[in-house]
Structure 1
Amino acid sequence: MTPAELWATWVASPWSLRPDTLLGAALLLVLAALLGELLWRALRWPRLMGYVAIGVVLALAGVRADPDEPAVRLVIDVALALLLFETGARLNLRWLVRNPWLLASGLLEVVLSAVAVYLTARAFGLGLQVSAVLALIAMSVSPAVVQRVVGECGAAGQVTERLLALTALNTLLAVLAIKALSAGLLLSRPDTWQTALPAVTISLAGSFLLGVALGSAIAWIARRLDLRNENAVVLLLGFVLLAIVVAKALHLSALLVPLLAGLWLRNRTDRPWVWPRHFGSAGGVLVLALFVAVGSAWSPADAPALVGLAAALLAARWVAKAAAVFVLARPSGLAWRQAASLSAGLLPMSATAWVLALDFGAAHPDTGAVVMPLLLTALALVELVGPLVLWYALRTAGELDVADTPDARSVAGPRRTA
């Protein structure tokens, strides 16, 4: 065999350094984990910034995550399902009822951000349908980023709890709004409404029923097993995987099912639920792969033409969310400094927005073809900035574990171990 043939054989083998091979994927995970750990140890910045940075390098090198690949989409759906379930399980609806101003703040920031993004998109000449899709997607704040940053930094306090609640609320509303828009477009067409009506009904009702079933199954496990036990974690992960497989097979919403499951579980009882973060080590690896995939999804070729519009949409979105928080800060019991921190924490967008656009594009390819490059360019702009802004916002609010900040460690000196 000639050297050229040997090289061609090696490149085509599972051991070549391409990202879609076993060796390439393993090296990417190692590099992402090492960079994330370096940022955490040196600066106490969220590890996910290292994961996203590796994804950005891949995108610049011309290697992009392809959600049409079954393995890539499975990783995205399962990792996001774990994070969305955690998000739903932290939203106490009774708290929103007891504090109606907080609920009003959440609804106002959702409406204002949608209106601001829609008007900005229209001002730049985008069509009605494309502008509406972007506006509804912009309602959501990334639960993946918020959960990861809050969990790693040990944040706790009023701003943190409100941020988690608002993130769960606006994500739920964004998913429902996108589903409603997609269903409305299908039902409004004379040639598709008869076939679309059963599918839309099954999708919404089935997602709710499957979410309730998943939440009930996990509640049953929690009453009989210690959730910190390794076997219980494996069982929980298995139930989530099973629910995602069923949702995919029945064309249900892989976003709505885990979110509703968490909500159902949390609000059936006053008991606070304590979860093994991201369902153990396996969940941690999936979350790492999720952020690498999102970081690599954008196209450097599309960015120069779209970066101005993407930045304008992001700015309109954040200003609207911040305005809603400040308008109702005092009635909802927030000081101005806390309101500023909460507003900054509403900046992140990530995998949830990507999956919302993917699902909408699958049902409406013409609109999806316009929305996707613009949305991915916006995610590329906010992906690295959002987690850092959130980290500093929680630090400014005084809700980080002080012993884990670089300044505290420099004053206190190294920790001693027994």
Structure 2
Amino acid sequence: MPNLDIVLTELGWPLAIALAWLAGECAYRWFGVPRISVYGLVGFGLAQVWPGALASGASSTVTLLANLGFGLILFEFGYRINLHWLRINPWIAVSGLAEAAATFGAVYGISQWTGMPPLTSLLLASLAMSTSPAGVLRVVNEQNSSGQVTERLLHLVAINCVLSVFAFKVIVGVWVFQTSGNLWQAVSHSLIELLASAALGALFGFGAPALLRRLGALSQDGTVGFALGVVLLVALTHAANLSPVLAALAFGLVARHRRVAFARTERNFGSIGELLTVLLFVFAVTVLPWERVVEGAALGAVLVGARFIVKMAAVALFSHPGGTSWRKGILTGIALSPMSVFITLLLEQTRQMGVVLVDELAALAAMILLLEVVGPILTQRALVWANETQRPEA
């Protein structure tokens, strides 16, 4: 007779995904809570009760699947970005740069005030700049949201992501140089990695539409073709230690500007995309040690509050020059709250380099858990208050 503990361990991830999905559906249908917030709560709770069954390493199959789910979301997110709109209204880009820089400065200042080492404070500040495209896009699609706040939100998230990845990789490169003394290793893990990731994603963005047109299957099999492209792209970046974030964003961005139609009915890449999303948001919090979350709860709450206020104020400050009202500027800033999944996957990539920030920064673990649950709810509320949601009937 097989050992019960072994059987339960083997069933850990399938059961966690099933329970998270069921809880998310119930919470959304009964209380209107974003599904992804509940996925995170269930994942964190199960990881504390059942840690051995939900363990995952940097090279595990679960981590690869989580990166794949994130890649699908990032492709769709990049596809929603219109560079022509940024050229017409450059104040959107200006507000994105300003709020990211202000967030960086505020978090760095608070971290230094609490006695953190300068390099650690820089890493924390670079991560705090970001907004999770996975959390924002899932709420936008779930609420069927559209309008001025929604579009500005998506473009500001894209700016946040690029700036955060760039700053984080450069600072990690400096960290590696200080610990190893190898300048080439430091450079290869920062600027060269970023350029190679973006170039690879752009190559897929040109190649995939051309191949689908050549096959004459763009209208029938376009979604499947792009999904397979994302699978291959994520696998390549995973194997080559490149950034799947920039690669998938560049893939979607270039594919959009190649004038490729993406069917509205295939948002989230259908059922397989939904399944990978559940896994992604469960995975994002299973790497958080309970002890670190409790230890860093107070500082994490302060940093989350500072980040929230700075982003909201900075976006509102540029709302009138950017052609919108103060109210919509404030709501856009509120909607920039999620960041957890983005940070978790960035940290998993750096584990291979020996930089384990979750274990060293208790405040970061607390921030990830808090914004995993609260961030999507704030985004949903902001879109509802902006009157841009059309939630489908359950």
Same fold (TM over 0.5): yes
- Could you say if the C-alpha distance between residues 267 and 189 of structure 1 is closer, same or farther in structure 2, counting changes exceeding 3 Å? farther
- Deviation of 1:27 after TM superposition, in Å, equals 2.4
Aligned residue number for residue 416 of structure 1: none
Structure 1 residues 136-190: Cα deviation after superposition (integer angstroms, max 9, x where no partner): 1111101111111100110010001111111111111111221222234445778
Aligned residue number for residue 23 of structure 2: 35
CA contact under 8 A between 2:268 and 2:274: conserved in structure 1?
yes
Return the alpha-carbon distance in structure 2 between the equivalents of residues 26 and 247 of structure 1.
Answer: 26
CA contact under 8 A between 1:105 and 1:324: conserved in structure 2?
yes
Return the alpha-carbon distance in structure 2 between the equivalents of residues 403 and 248 of structure 1.
Answer: 36
Aligned residue number for residue 305 of structure 1: 295
Q: Gapped runs of 5+ residues in structure 1?
A: 1-5, 406-418
- Deviation of 1:265 after TM superposition, in Å, equals 2.1
Return the alpha-carbon distance in structure 2 between the equivalents of residues 24 and 367 of structure 1.
Answer: 26
Structure with higher Rg: it is 1
Aligned residue number for residue 78 of structure 2: 88
- Deviation of 1:357 after TM superposition, in Å, equals 2.5
Structure 1 residues 106-138: Cα deviation after superposition (integer angstroms, max 9, x where no partner): 111111111111111111111101110011111
5 Å-filtered alignment, 1:67-216, equals 67-68=57-58, 70-186=60-176, 191-197=181-187, 202-216=192-206
- Could you say if the C-alpha distance between residues 322 and 227 of structure 1 is closer, same or farther in structure 2, counting changes exceeding 3 Å? farther
CA contact under 8 A between 2:295 and 2:363: conserved in structure 1?
no
**Do structure 1's residue 47 and structure 2's residue 41 form an aligned pair?**
no
Aligned residue number for residue 391 of structure 1: 380
- The amino acid that maps onto 2:272 is A
CA contact under 8 A between 1:129 and 1:367: conserved in structure 2?
no
Aligned residue number for residue 224 of structure 2: 234
- Could you say if the C-alpha distance between residues 330 and 184 of structure 1 is closer, same or farther in structure 2, counting changes exceeding 3 Å? same
The one of 364, 375, 378 equivalent to 1:375 is 364
Aligned residue number for residue 282 of structure 1: 272
- The farther-off stretch of 140-149 and 200-209 is 200-209
TM-score, structure 1 as length reference: 0.86
- The amino acid that maps onto 2:367 is A
CA contact under 8 A between 1:65 and 1:293: conserved in structure 2?
no
Partner secondary structure for residue 331 of structure 1? coil
CA contact under 8 A between 1:116 and 1:317: conserved in structure 2?
yes
Partner secondary structure for residue 238 of structure 1? helix
CA contact under 8 A between 2:43 and 2:282: conserved in structure 1?
yes
Aligned residue number for residue 249 of structure 1: 239
Return the alpha-carbon distance in structure 2 between the equivalents of residues 56 and 368 of structure 1.
Answer: 15
Aligned residue number for residue 334 of structure 1: 324
- Could you say if the C-alpha distance between residues 333 and 201 of structure 1 is closer, same or farther in structure 2, counting changes exceeding 3 Å? closer
CA contact under 8 A between 1:46 and 1:388: conserved in structure 2?
yes
Return the alpha-carbon distance in structure 2 between the equivalents of residues 402 and 304 of structure 1.
Answer: 36
CA contact under 8 A between 2:347 and 2:357: conserved in structure 1?
no
Return the alpha-carbon distance in structure 2 between the equivalents of residues 288 and 338 of structure 1.
Answer: 31
- Deviation of 1:251 after TM superposition, in Å, equals 2.0
TM-score, structure 2 as length reference: 0.91
How many correspondences in the alignment?
A: 390
Return the alpha-carbon distance in structure 2 between the equivalents of residues 212 and 142 of structure 1.
Answer: 21
- Deviation of 1:82 after TM superposition, in Å, equals 0.9
Aligned residue number for residue 414 of structure 1: none
- Deviation of 1:366 after TM superposition, in Å, equals 6.7
- Could you say if the C-alpha distance between residues 162 and 70 of structure 1 is closer, same or farther in structure 2, counting changes exceeding 3 Å? same
- The amino acid that maps onto 2:334 is A
CA contact under 8 A between 1:354 and 1:375: conserved in structure 2?
no
Fraction of identical pairs, as percent: 33
